Structure 1
Amino acid sequence: MDFADADAINQAIRLLSLRHRARAAALLAPLGLHPGQEVLLLELARTGPMIQAQLSDALGVEPPSVTLMTRKLEASGHIRRTPAPSDRRASVVELTESGQALVVRVEQLWCALAEQTVAGLPTRTVAELPGVLRAVAANVATRGARPASPPGTRSRTAGR
Protein backbone atom coordinates (compact mmCIF):
# COMPACT_ATOMS: atom_id res chain seq x y z
CA MET A 1 0.00 0.00 0.00
CA ASP A 2 1.37 3.43 -0.83
CA PHE A 3 1.51 6.28 1.64
CA ALA A 4 -1.45 8.18 0.19
CA ASP A 5 -3.75 5.17 0.63
CA ALA A 6 -2.35 4.40 4.08
CA ASP A 7 -2.72 8.03 5.14
CA ALA A 8 -6.32 8.16 3.90
CA ILE A 9 -7.25 5.02 5.88
CA ASN A 10 -5.45 6.07 9.05
CA GLN A 11 -6.82 9.61 8.95
CA ALA A 12 -10.38 8.40 8.35
CA ILE A 13 -10.19 6.01 11.31
CA ARG A 14 -8.66 8.70 13.51
CA LEU A 15 -11.31 11.24 12.54
CA LEU A 16 -14.14 8.75 13.05
CA SER A 17 -12.83 7.85 16.49
CA LEU A 18 -12.50 11.49 17.58
CA ARG A 19 -15.88 12.55 16.24
CA HIS A 20 -17.73 9.50 17.53
CA ARG A 21 -16.30 9.96 21.03
CA ALA A 22 -17.13 13.68 20.98
CA ARG A 23 -20.71 13.00 19.83
CA ALA A 24 -21.09 10.29 22.48
CA ALA A 25 -19.79 12.70 25.14
CA ALA A 26 -22.32 15.33 24.09
CA LEU A 27 -25.18 12.83 24.27
CA LEU A 28 -24.03 11.34 27.58
CA ALA A 29 -23.45 14.65 29.38
CA PRO A 30 -27.16 15.34 30.10
CA LEU A 31 -27.29 11.92 31.79
CA GLY A 32 -24.32 12.85 33.99
CA LEU A 33 -22.09 10.29 32.28
CA HIS A 34 -18.68 10.46 30.63
CA PRO A 35 -17.58 8.28 27.67
CA GLY A 36 -16.72 4.80 28.88
CA GLN A 37 -19.13 4.83 31.79
CA GLU A 38 -22.03 3.93 29.52
CA VAL A 39 -20.15 0.88 28.25
CA LEU A 40 -19.55 -0.27 31.82
CA LEU A 41 -23.27 0.10 32.60
CA LEU A 42 -24.26 -1.74 29.42
CA GLU A 43 -21.83 -4.57 30.19
CA LEU A 44 -23.29 -5.03 33.67
CA ALA A 45 -26.80 -5.01 32.19
CA ARG A 46 -25.74 -7.67 29.68
CA THR A 47 -23.83 -9.95 32.02
CA GLY A 48 -24.99 -9.20 35.55
CA PRO A 49 -22.74 -8.61 38.57
CA MET A 50 -19.04 -9.28 38.13
CA ILE A 51 -15.70 -8.74 39.79
CA GLN A 52 -13.93 -5.53 38.79
CA ALA A 53 -11.04 -7.46 37.23
CA GLN A 54 -13.50 -9.34 35.00
CA LEU A 55 -15.14 -6.05 34.11
CA SER A 56 -11.77 -4.63 33.16
CA ASP A 57 -11.16 -7.59 30.84
CA ALA A 58 -14.65 -7.39 29.35
CA LEU A 59 -14.27 -3.68 28.59
CA GLY A 60 -10.69 -3.97 27.38
CA VAL A 61 -9.47 -1.24 29.73
CA GLU A 62 -6.90 -1.11 32.49
CA PRO A 63 -8.05 -1.93 36.05
CA PRO A 64 -7.36 1.62 37.36
CA SER A 65 -9.79 2.97 34.74
CA VAL A 66 -12.50 0.59 35.94
CA THR A 67 -11.78 1.54 39.54
CA LEU A 68 -12.19 5.23 38.73
CA MET A 69 -15.40 4.64 36.74
CA THR A 70 -16.91 2.42 39.42
CA ARG A 71 -16.12 4.95 42.15
CA LYS A 72 -17.89 7.70 40.21
CA LEU A 73 -20.87 5.52 39.28
CA GLU A 74 -21.14 4.28 42.87
CA ALA A 75 -21.08 7.87 44.18
CA SER A 76 -23.93 8.73 41.83
CA GLY A 77 -25.90 5.68 43.02
CA HIS A 78 -25.92 3.76 39.72
CA ILE A 79 -23.84 0.79 40.86
CA ARG A 80 -22.88 -0.86 44.12
CA ARG A 81 -19.61 -2.55 44.98
CA THR A 82 -19.43 -5.30 47.58
CA PRO A 83 -16.56 -7.53 48.67
CA ALA A 84 -16.37 -10.75 46.65
CA PRO A 85 -17.29 -13.77 48.79
CA SER A 86 -14.33 -15.78 47.47
CA ASP A 87 -11.75 -12.98 47.72
CA ARG A 88 -12.29 -10.06 50.08
CA ARG A 89 -9.69 -8.04 48.18
CA ALA A 90 -11.89 -8.10 45.07
CA SER A 91 -15.11 -6.15 44.59
CA VAL A 92 -18.26 -7.38 42.90
CA VAL A 93 -19.92 -4.64 40.86
CA GLU A 94 -23.65 -4.62 40.15
CA LEU A 95 -26.30 -2.22 38.91
CA THR A 96 -28.65 -0.56 41.36
CA GLU A 97 -32.27 0.25 40.48
CA SER A 98 -31.06 3.71 39.47
CA GLY A 99 -28.41 2.11 37.26
CA GLN A 100 -30.96 -0.19 35.64
CA ALA A 101 -33.18 2.80 34.83
CA LEU A 102 -30.17 4.67 33.46
CA VAL A 103 -29.29 1.70 31.21
CA VAL A 104 -32.67 2.06 29.48
CA ARG A 105 -31.84 5.69 28.67
CA VAL A 106 -28.30 4.76 27.60
CA GLU A 107 -29.67 2.10 25.24
CA GLN A 108 -31.94 4.73 23.63
CA LEU A 109 -29.01 7.13 23.33
CA TRP A 110 -26.81 4.35 21.90
CA CYS A 111 -29.44 3.64 19.21
CA ALA A 112 -29.65 7.33 18.33
CA LEU A 113 -25.85 7.60 18.11
CA ALA A 114 -25.63 4.54 15.84
CA GLU A 115 -28.41 5.88 13.60
CA GLN A 116 -26.65 9.25 13.33
CA THR A 117 -23.35 7.53 12.62
CA VAL A 118 -24.63 5.45 9.69
CA ALA A 119 -27.18 7.94 8.32
CA GLY A 120 -27.28 7.86 4.54
CA LEU A 121 -25.37 4.60 4.16
CA PRO A 122 -26.93 1.76 2.17
CA THR A 123 -28.72 -0.88 4.29
CA ARG A 124 -26.28 -3.58 3.14
CA THR A 125 -23.29 -1.47 4.19
CA VAL A 126 -24.86 -0.85 7.61
CA ALA A 127 -25.44 -4.60 8.03
CA GLU A 128 -21.81 -5.39 7.11
CA LEU A 129 -20.25 -2.56 9.12
CA PRO A 130 -20.04 -4.26 12.55
CA GLY A 131 -18.17 -7.23 11.09
CA VAL A 132 -15.81 -5.01 9.11
CA LEU A 133 -15.07 -2.81 12.13
CA ARG A 134 -14.51 -5.85 14.39
CA ALA A 135 -12.06 -7.23 11.82
CA VAL A 136 -10.22 -3.90 11.66
CA ALA A 137 -10.07 -3.75 15.46
CA ALA A 138 -8.76 -7.32 15.60
CA ASN A 139 -6.10 -6.48 13.02
CA VAL A 140 -4.89 -3.56 15.09
CA ALA A 141 -4.89 -5.63 18.29
CA THR A 142 -2.97 -8.58 16.85
CA ARG A 143 -0.67 -6.73 14.53
CA GLY A 144 0.05 -3.95 17.03
CA ALA A 145 1.91 -6.35 19.29
CA ARG A 146 4.87 -6.64 16.93
CA PRO A 147 5.94 -3.87 14.55
CA ALA A 148 5.64 -4.80 10.90
CA SER A 149 8.74 -4.77 8.77
CA PRO A 150 8.86 -1.90 6.31
CA PRO A 151 7.88 -2.96 2.77
CA GLY A 152 10.77 -4.42 0.84
CA THR A 153 12.68 -5.62 3.91
CA ARG A 154 12.95 -9.12 5.30
CA SER A 155 12.05 -9.85 8.87
CA ARG A 156 14.85 -11.19 11.03
CA THR A 157 13.02 -14.47 11.44
CA ALA A 158 12.31 -14.95 7.74
CA GLY A 159 13.97 -18.03 6.34
CA ARG A 160 14.78 -19.58 9.71
Structure 2
Amino acid sequence: MKTDTDRLGLLLHDATRAIRKRFERQTSHLGLSTAQWRLLAQLSREPRATQARLADLLDIEPISVSRLIDRMELGGWVRREADPCDRRARLVAPTEKTQAAYATIKAIADEVYDEALEGIPADRRGDLVSMLRTIVTNLNDAEAEDRHPCIKVSR
Protein backbone atom coordinates (compact mmCIF):
# COMPACT_ATOMS: atom_id res chain seq x y z
CA MET A 1 0.00 0.00 0.00
CA LYS A 2 1.42 3.36 -1.03
CA THR A 3 1.46 6.27 1.40
CA ASP A 4 2.15 9.94 0.87
CA THR A 5 5.62 9.47 2.35
CA ASP A 6 6.54 6.95 -0.36
CA ARG A 7 7.11 9.89 -2.67
CA LEU A 8 8.62 12.30 -0.12
CA GLY A 9 12.18 12.15 -1.45
CA LEU A 10 11.12 12.68 -5.06
CA LEU A 11 8.76 15.51 -4.12
CA LEU A 12 11.43 17.30 -2.11
CA HIS A 13 13.90 16.87 -4.96
CA ASP A 14 11.40 18.02 -7.60
CA ALA A 15 10.36 21.06 -5.53
CA THR A 16 13.98 22.06 -4.94
CA ARG A 17 14.84 21.60 -8.60
CA ALA A 18 11.84 23.68 -9.76
CA ILE A 19 12.68 26.51 -7.35
CA ARG A 20 16.35 26.44 -8.37
CA LYS A 21 15.54 26.52 -12.09
CA ARG A 22 13.12 29.43 -11.66
CA PHE A 23 15.64 31.31 -9.53
CA GLU A 24 18.36 30.73 -12.14
CA ARG A 25 16.10 32.13 -14.88
CA GLN A 26 15.29 35.21 -12.80
CA THR A 27 18.94 35.88 -11.87
CA SER A 28 20.73 34.95 -15.11
CA HIS A 29 21.30 38.65 -15.90
CA LEU A 30 23.56 38.92 -12.84
CA GLY A 31 26.05 36.42 -14.32
CA LEU A 32 26.54 34.03 -11.41
CA SER A 33 26.23 30.24 -11.49
CA THR A 34 24.01 28.29 -9.13
CA ALA A 35 27.06 27.18 -7.15
CA GLN A 36 28.12 30.81 -6.78
CA TRP A 37 24.65 31.85 -5.62
CA ARG A 38 24.61 29.03 -3.09
CA LEU A 39 28.00 30.12 -1.74
CA LEU A 40 26.83 33.73 -1.43
CA ALA A 41 23.66 32.58 0.34
CA GLN A 42 25.76 30.63 2.85
CA LEU A 43 27.96 33.68 3.41
CA SER A 44 24.84 35.73 4.12
CA ARG A 45 24.07 33.29 6.95
CA GLU A 46 27.65 32.91 8.11
CA PRO A 47 29.64 35.98 6.96
CA ARG A 48 33.06 34.48 7.60
CA ALA A 49 33.59 30.80 7.02
CA THR A 50 36.50 28.55 6.22
CA GLN A 51 36.68 26.86 2.85
CA ALA A 52 36.24 23.51 4.61
CA ARG A 53 33.06 24.76 6.30
CA LEU A 54 31.72 26.07 2.99
CA ALA A 55 32.50 22.77 1.27
CA ASP A 56 30.53 20.97 3.98
CA LEU A 57 27.59 23.40 3.82
CA LEU A 58 27.46 23.26 0.03
CA ASP A 59 28.03 19.49 -0.03
CA ILE A 60 30.86 19.73 -2.56
CA GLU A 61 34.50 18.68 -2.50
CA PRO A 62 37.00 21.10 -0.89
CA ILE A 63 38.98 21.39 -4.14
CA SER A 64 35.80 22.40 -5.99
CA VAL A 65 35.01 25.03 -3.37
CA SER A 66 38.55 26.35 -3.65
CA ARG A 67 38.18 26.80 -7.41
CA LEU A 68 34.75 28.35 -6.94
CA ILE A 69 36.17 30.84 -4.45
CA ASP A 70 39.09 31.59 -6.79
CA ARG A 71 36.64 32.59 -9.55
CA MET A 72 34.47 34.60 -7.17
CA GLU A 73 37.48 36.37 -5.70
CA LEU A 74 38.58 37.37 -9.21
CA GLY A 75 35.07 38.72 -9.81
CA GLY A 76 35.19 40.77 -6.63
CA TRP A 77 32.42 38.82 -4.88
CA VAL A 78 34.46 37.42 -1.96
CA ARG A 79 37.80 37.90 -0.30
CA ARG A 80 40.01 35.57 1.69
CA GLU A 81 41.21 36.66 5.13
CA ALA A 82 43.53 35.15 7.69
CA ASP A 83 41.71 33.21 10.40
CA PRO A 84 42.63 34.81 13.73
CA CYS A 85 42.08 31.48 15.51
CA ASP A 86 44.00 29.20 13.14
CA ARG A 87 46.92 30.51 11.13
CA ARG A 88 46.66 27.55 8.74
CA ALA A 89 43.10 28.43 7.75
CA ARG A 90 41.70 31.19 5.59
CA LEU A 91 38.26 32.69 6.04
CA VAL A 92 36.05 33.58 3.11
CA ALA A 93 34.08 36.79 3.49
CA PRO A 94 31.63 38.64 1.24
CA THR A 95 32.73 41.93 -0.29
CA GLU A 96 30.73 45.15 -0.52
CA LYS A 97 29.76 44.06 -4.05
CA THR A 98 28.10 40.96 -2.60
CA GLN A 99 26.41 42.89 0.16
CA ALA A 100 25.02 45.38 -2.38
CA ALA A 101 23.77 42.58 -4.66
CA TYR A 102 22.23 40.62 -1.80
CA ALA A 103 19.14 42.86 -1.61
CA THR A 104 18.47 42.13 -5.28
CA ILE A 105 19.08 38.42 -4.77
CA LYS A 106 16.77 38.35 -1.74
CA ALA A 107 13.99 40.19 -3.59
CA ILE A 108 14.18 37.74 -6.51
CA ALA A 109 14.19 34.77 -4.13
CA ASP A 110 11.14 36.17 -2.33
CA GLU A 111 9.29 36.46 -5.66
CA VAL A 112 10.17 32.87 -6.55
CA TYR A 113 9.06 31.62 -3.12
CA ASP A 114 5.79 33.54 -3.38
CA GLU A 115 5.19 31.92 -6.75
CA ALA A 116 6.09 28.47 -5.38
CA LEU A 117 3.76 28.89 -2.39
CA GLU A 118 0.82 30.20 -4.42
CA GLY A 119 -2.31 28.32 -3.45
CA ILE A 120 -1.01 27.49 0.03
CA PRO A 121 -2.87 29.58 2.62
CA ALA A 122 -0.64 32.13 4.36
CA ASP A 123 -1.39 30.64 7.77
CA ARG A 124 -0.12 27.20 6.60
CA ARG A 125 3.15 28.43 5.02
CA GLY A 126 4.83 28.76 8.41
CA ASP A 127 3.83 25.18 9.20
CA LEU A 128 5.48 23.97 5.98
CA VAL A 129 8.73 25.78 6.78
CA SER A 130 8.66 24.46 10.35
CA MET A 131 8.15 20.89 9.17
CA LEU A 132 10.99 21.16 6.66
CA ARG A 133 13.27 22.51 9.42
CA THR A 134 12.33 19.51 11.54
CA ILE A 135 13.30 17.13 8.71
CA VAL A 136 16.66 18.88 8.29
CA THR A 137 17.32 18.89 12.03
CA ASN A 138 16.37 15.22 12.42
CA LEU A 139 18.69 14.11 9.65
CA ASN A 140 21.57 16.44 10.53
CA ASP A 141 21.43 15.32 14.16
CA ALA A 142 21.44 11.66 13.09
CA GLU A 143 24.41 12.31 10.79
CA ALA A 144 26.30 14.03 13.62
CA GLU A 145 25.63 11.05 15.88
CA ASP A 146 26.86 8.67 13.15
CA ARG A 147 30.14 10.60 12.85
CA HIS A 148 30.56 10.92 16.63
CA PRO A 149 28.82 7.95 18.29
CA CYS A 150 29.98 9.05 21.77
CA ILE A 151 28.16 12.35 21.40
CA LYS A 152 24.38 12.18 21.66
CA VAL A 153 22.39 15.07 20.29
CA SER A 154 19.46 16.04 22.49
CA ARG A 155 16.24 16.61 20.61
Give TM-score scaled by structure 1 length. Answer: 0.72
Residues 126-135 or 64-73, more deviating: 64-73
Residues 105-114 or 12-21, more deviating: 12-21
Residues 23-32 or 123-132, more deviating: 23-32
3-state SS in 1 of match to 2:34: coil
1:106 aligns with 2:132: no
3-state SS in 2 of match to 1:93: strand
Larger Rg: 1
- Closer, same or farther in 2 for the Cα pair 1:30/1:10, shift >3 Å? same
- Closer, same or farther in 2 for the Cα pair 1:128/1:5, shift >3 Å? closer
Q: CA deviation at 1:123?
A: 1.0
Give TM-score scaled by structure 2 length. Answer: 0.74
1:61 aligns with 2:59: yes
Residues 129-138 or 98-107, more deviating: 129-138
Q: CA deviation at 1:41?
A: 1.7
The aligned residue for residue 10 of structure 2 is 11
Q: CA deviation at 1:79?
A: 0.7
The aligned residue for residue 122 of structure 2 is 123
Cα separation, 2, equivalents of 1:46 and 1:134:
15
1:81-119 Cα deviation digits (max 9, x unpaired) = 134345444222111121111212111112112111111
Q: CA deviation at 1:56?
A: 3.4
In structure 1, the gaps of 5 or more residues are: 147-160
**Contact 2:81 2:91 (8 Å CA) reproduced:** yes
Aligned length: 143
CA RMSD of aligned residues (A): 2.7
3-state SS in 1 of match to 2:18: helix
In structure 2, the gaps of 5 or more residues are: 147-155
3-state SS in 2 of match to 1:81: strand
Match of 1:61, as an amino acid? D
3-state SS in 2 of match to 1:94: strand
Residues 18-27 or 46-55, more deviating: 46-55
The aligned residue for residue 49 of structure 2 is 50
**Contact 2:39 2:58 (8 Å CA) reproduced:** no
Residues 7-16 or 91-100, more deviating: 7-16
3-state SS in 2 of match to 1:101: helix
Query: For residues 78-89 of structure 1, what are the structure 2 equivalents within 5 Å?
Result: 78-89=77-88
**Contact 2:19 2:113 (8 Å CA) reproduced:** no
